[in-house]
Structure 1
Amino acid sequence: MLNHLALANLTRPNTISKAIDIYHKDIFKYVSNKKNMKDFLKSLNIFLYTYFLMKYNKDLETFALKNNEYINKEDNFDNLLYFGEKIVRGYSNKFTSVLKQNDHELIEDALEYINNNFNKKLTLQGVANKLHISRNYLCHLFKVQTGYKFCEYINLQRVNRAKELIEENKKTLEFISFDCGFSSQSHFSTTFKKYVGLTPNEYKKTLIYN
């Protein structure tokens, strides 16, 4: 089977024209008759199917089988040539759903990690490293998927946990500040007031006296 990796890596929507260019260059290089064309398209189809399965865990078996069925029954060379383009574009179209699925899973992993570690020192770069993606991509993805900036979400988790501990009325505000991951008492007070409208001490008094 031919190695179509260069083409497969360009099946993203923004690089599809380059993938099509490679397709035509490979046709010129490897195909000389109708039989060659059928064999080439079958090779391309199974390679792209395997690529999506292995790299993105996306099983496109039904799509691949339909492609293979058309290749088997079509005898016109020009139609086969055009259909090869449709195969490449078809896998490219599937890429959008793959990206959405992968982005959703990435954010789920990011949220799970933050929810379990918000009381520790967290940085955008640190979480990005955990997910094996770039800092800039995580920053963009986080805002798009959650509606919050990275730091905003962490602060919200810390403030919500602080509110719970204040309501329990078993720990000092100094302990709560440290336990929730705030860098200092002043940071705790400023951040708490930003999201709750009251300082931690003011919030505590509303619970005690009302």
Structure 2
Amino acid sequence: MNIQCELDFFTKDTRKEKSYIDFHSHNGYELVYYASGHGRTTIGDKVYPYQAGQFSVIEPNCPHDEYRESATEVHFLVFSYNNYPIALRNHVYTEPGDAPIKQLMHKLGEEMLRKNSFSPILLRCYLTELIVEIGKISGEKLQHAEPEDQLLYAKSYIEQYAADKINLPKLAETHGYSYDYFRHLFKENTGYSPMQYIMLHRFKKAKQLLAESRESITTIALECGFSNTPQFCAMFKKQFGVSPLQYKGKISNKNS
């Protein structure tokens, strides 16, 4: 049973007394370890006090803030994870006396500074250990999914990270399938191949941004996972019969 995860970024910071970070969110999971200080954080609609030796887990796209009553040293990271087989949920946890979270955060920080050819492998290993330790601390039971549930996790992962470069053979391997069999099951279940499903959600996001934002076509293309503007424009026109600019113009005219 493999854990599919990837570190997006990791950093440390000391935040001043009586300082505040307003509500914001991330595309991936966030883990914040409070090495010192105390204050409170609102995750979603719930307020949690925090103190040194605790850590918060924040689900993707969940609004959260942070107010420090005293100067607070934080170690935090954002990572992608398909939430299987250990479910991670919004909460502030107290780690046990042997401080496994603190130790793993320290190892992550050390490896980020080294940056050698082995670092990506070690960082993924440390992140996997973190997820396991969080599962043990939270008391979550391992999930044992049926094939339909496995595909649900895969679909959710693709929907969440469609704009990123998804390693589909690796995703299949994570769920215990060869890529050919995974592709067969996925198409049988959804009507789309995995790559078609990725493109479906890239186009869905692109149409939303074209309709609602003032960003340039180039910016929208990159935000939605396309390699460049010409590729985006050609694929969009082939899919919808109009260029992105023409689509944007039609939507603007309808709303005016």
- TM-score norm. by structure 1 comes to 0.49
- TM-score norm. by structure 2 comes to 0.41
- Relative to its length, the structure with more helix (as a share) is 1
